Structure 1
Amino acid sequence: MSLPHRKHGSKEHTYSRHWLPLSTSCGKTPERTLFDFRLWVTNLRSVSKGKVVSFLMGLTLMFLIMASHILTWDRKGLFLTSPPYQRVRAGAVPNSTGAAEDLWENVRINMKLLVKIIGSKLEYTPRKVPEEKDVIGTNSRLFSAIPRHFLPGVKSPCWYQEFSGELGTDPYKGNQYAVRTKSFEAVCGLLRADFHKHLHPRGGKLFRLRCLPFFYIVGQPKCGTTDLFYRLRLHPEVKFNTIKEPHWWTRKRFGYIRFKDGYQENFPLEDYLDLFDLAAHNIEKGISGNSSGDHRTLITGEASASTMWDNQAWSYLHKEEPEPPFLAQDVIHTVQPGAKIIIMLRDPVERLYSDYLYFKMANKSTEDFHQKVVESVQLFQSCLSERSLRSCAYNTSLSNAMPVRLNLGMYVVFLLDWLTVFHSEQILVLRLEDYAANLQMTINKVLFRSKGRQRCTNGPNPTPGGGQTGSWDVCFQPPVSSSGNFTNPSTINWPACCTTKTSTGATPDGPLACTRM
């Protein structure tokens, strides 16, 4: 039964019997119905306004509760039904078995299309590796500060660097890592206490031992790199490493801490090298013979999980390039061709979900994760329609637009690019699944690969100051380079320094044992 529309606020309440549906067989029923209706209206007027308001509020609350139950109902379908190359939007919950089957069919069609597109892009064309001179040209100061050769007889890549500061001054004052990391600030406090003891005079100048990482755990995020790094630190030869993730090669040397925060301040090379001073001081004890053990075998390392994939800084510097012209591995290889690379991977779907749980701050749910993956897949699919697979994997704009970091699971792209500069024997690839299933075997594999063969451990201890004995006398000459680094390769007799004779006259390590590490 419906009433005619009347103007709001009208106080006229005149009713006539033709408002109600009447039947010729009803007799006097219409008269009684009209009377009952007028009685109901009279009773309604007697109800207080407070009760009416309470009734309406209760009705509204009941409606909201019912609506919330409907909206949070367990949805078992996938809402991947929008056309390719378009921004996805949330779909409707299928209300029948047939609709659900159609939805799943659309999902399969979309995924088949995506797989087909990716498959067409997988004809891997090796990237054009930049010339060494071009890599050096990107940061000439970096390459002038690090020598072309490192100290023989020391496992980690170390050299003596001229100390330009004044005695008594704080060498770690203003270190950007110490300012932002309390744990490293505490380490700096220990290093300051006996810093002067690790300075060596030579030719009227003071020198300090500096080291780069011997190994790099380069990725991927949420694949167990943190657990691996801290387990390795339990080993006596690895325990002197401090910060796990400096992110220097990919971000902080360019002045970025988090790209979303924009440019902040460049972290100089000296700040990065300071991270390995604790290890360098202990290595120096082994070089000078002031330790009970052979500290020359100590290993430096770091585990920035961004090193394998993150080249966003190049996108900001070279916005016109479809792909980054220089990758982090180009710079690391030019500085340190013998570096040991460790890569940890896991099922890319599980990696993505773990990444979502870690970086998503609130309102986490499987439905929300699924919807974000759907949007990211379609954005990536749209990129593939116009660009190469590598270009999309490194595309900063696409990465920023995707709600989840889908591109980090493109392991094949990143790994093949690392293999363009590093030999496969220098790269150890681990799976988190194997690591979890057999921890001891995996750790032993890492230690065997990381520690490697000891090189040039025989002979007198090389120090930049004091008397030298034996064959080491011909190994060290005063530095002639402007950088002040005490490893001038042009004046070092490498075979005389590094080969050792056996009783048969053979040279077990050979002259190549002292090539640059």
Structure 2
Amino acid sequence: GPFYFLPNMWSPCWKSDLTKEGVACLPYFYVAGFPKCGTTDLYVLLSIHPQVVRPVAKETHWVARHRFVGYNGRNKTLKDYVENFSPVMYRAVSPNSTYRADLLNPQITGDYSVTTAYEHLRWETIPGNQWCDEPLILNADLVRHMNPRAKIIFTVRNPTTSLYHVFIEDWLKRFPRDQIYVVRLEDWALNPVEELVRLFKFLELDVPSRELIEVMRHRVPANYGEVAKDQGLMSNHTKAVLDSFFRPFNARLAQLLGNRKFLWEDE
């Protein structure tokens, strides 16, 4: 990456004049996708962990959209982007405004913009993509350039509307497998706390206390009703047709991830 990250910070932070605090931070992790797959619940429950700091805004869409000139007004710079993470991280590691470079600061924060996984607006303006019929330089390349050690999280569901493997394969070409975590919405809905503990381990966080786990267990999922409502609009015949269509693509996803559960044979 282009930055010298402070060795005592778990989150990728560096000394910089981009912020008034003098320390700029990028996300430690990206919940990069996908829409309608439980990312809001993930945001709420992850934030209960004492080491996870909520960003200023849940979704910036900077990587996929707002860094480009002409999208919804002016483009947003790296300075704009880090201001979504730097102030909250600075307050978390130095609550008394006395940043200590000699202390380990295990707090982390993340970017929950689900467009990061799949949306490539204005890709033809990116150096390296000129004169190409399709993008060679993707969002994953930018994330890797900024922080090669970033952890990437995908939430997926029985894919009746998306070819997940196409996008996830692009990320697997740019990040080691152990930096990418994929969770099924179906597993998350059945065993949210168990899945959350696995996710904490992936993020290298401390497993929370039993009391905190109980707090998480009793949280009401935010958007499962909407998911169920969406699924209820689909007839059995339509679902069977779509399942048949997506079966080979699910097989490719299961092969990429080395896990047969992504075949969705348990439904």
Instruction: Please report the TM-score for the alignment, with normalisation by the length of structure 2.
Output: 0.68
Shift, 1:300, TM fit: 1.3
1:373-400 alpha-carbon deviations (Å, 9 max, x no partner): xxxxxxxxxxxxxxxxxxxxxxxxxxxx
Please identify which structure carries the higher helix content: 1
Shift, 1:424, TM fit: 0.2
* 2:40 alignment partner AA: T
Shift, 1:320, TM fit: 4.1
Contact 1:284–1:296 (8 Å) recurs in 2: no
Alignment match, 2:41: 227
Match of residue 415, structure 1, among 168, 171, 194: 168
Match of residue 236, structure 1, among 46, 50, 55: 50
Shift, 1:264, TM fit: 2.3
Give the secondary-structure state (helix, strand or coil) at the position aligned to 2:122: helix
Give the secondary-structure state (helix, strand or coil) at the position aligned to 2:15: strand
Alignment match, 1:160: 15
Q: Distance in 2 between matches of 1:256 and 1:234?
A: 37
Contact 1:283–1:295 (8 Å) recurs in 2: no
State yes or no: 1:307 paired with 2:116.
yes
RMSD, aligned CA:
2.5
Shift, 1:312, TM fit: 2.5
State yes or no: 1:432 paired with 2:180.
no
Alignment match, 2:158: 347
Q: How many residues align?
A: 201
Alignment match, 2:89: 279
Unpaired runs of 5+ residues, structure 2, are 207-267
Match of residue 63, structure 2, among 249, 252, 255: 249
Please identify which structure carries the higher strand content: 2
Match of residue 330, structure 1, among 141, 144, 162: 141
Q: Distance in 2 between matches of 1:307 and 1:245?
A: 10
* 2:138 alignment partner AA: L
Shift, 1:280, TM fit: 2.3
Give the secondary-structure state (helix, strand or coil) at the position aligned to 1:429: strand
Give the secondary-structure state (helix, strand or coil) at the position aligned to 2:202: helix
Contact 1:333–1:422 (8 Å) recurs in 2: yes
Within a 5 Å distance, the mapping from 1:131-210 to structure 2 comes to 146-147=2-3, 149-162=4-17, 198=21, 208-210=22-24
1:64-102 alpha-carbon deviations (Å, 9 max, x no partner): xxxxxxxxxxxxxxxxxxxxxxxxxxxxxxxxxxxxxxx
Contact 2:181–2:202 (8 Å) recurs in 1: yes
Match of residue 265, structure 1, among 74, 94, 113: 74
Give the secondary-structure state (helix, strand or coil) at the position aligned to 1:338: coil
* 2:64 alignment partner AA: T
1:254-275 alpha-carbon deviations (Å, 9 max, x no partner): 1355xxxxx6211011111111
Report % sequence identity. Answer: 35
* 1:304 alignment partner AA: S
Give the secondary-structure state (helix, strand or coil) at the position aligned to 1:330: helix
Is the alpha carbon distance of 1:274 and 1:334 closer, same or farther for their aligned partners in structure 2, counting shifts above 3 Å? same
Give the secondary-structure state (helix, strand or coil) at the position aligned to 2:62: coil
Contact 2:51–2:205 (8 Å) recurs in 1: no
Alignment match, 1:27: none
Is the alpha carbon distance of 1:424 and 1:287 closer, same or farther for their aligned partners in structure 2, counting shifts above 3 Å? farther
Contact 1:241–1:300 (8 Å) recurs in 2: yes
Give the secondary-structure state (helix, strand or coil) at the position aligned to 1:414: helix
Contact 1:155–1:296 (8 Å) recurs in 2: yes
* 2:13 alignment partner AA: C
Unpaired runs of 5+ residues, structure 1, are 1-142, 164-170, 172-194, 199-207, 258-262, 353-408, 454-517
Q: Distance in 1 between matches of 2:92 and 2:30?
A: 20
Shift, 1:243, TM fit: 1.1
Shift, 1:295, TM fit: 7.3
Q: Distance in 2 between matches of 1:333 and 1:302?
A: 14
Shift, 1:285, TM fit: 4.7
Is the alpha carbon distance of 1:298 and 1:238 closer, same or farther for their aligned partners in structure 2, counting shifts above 3 Å? same
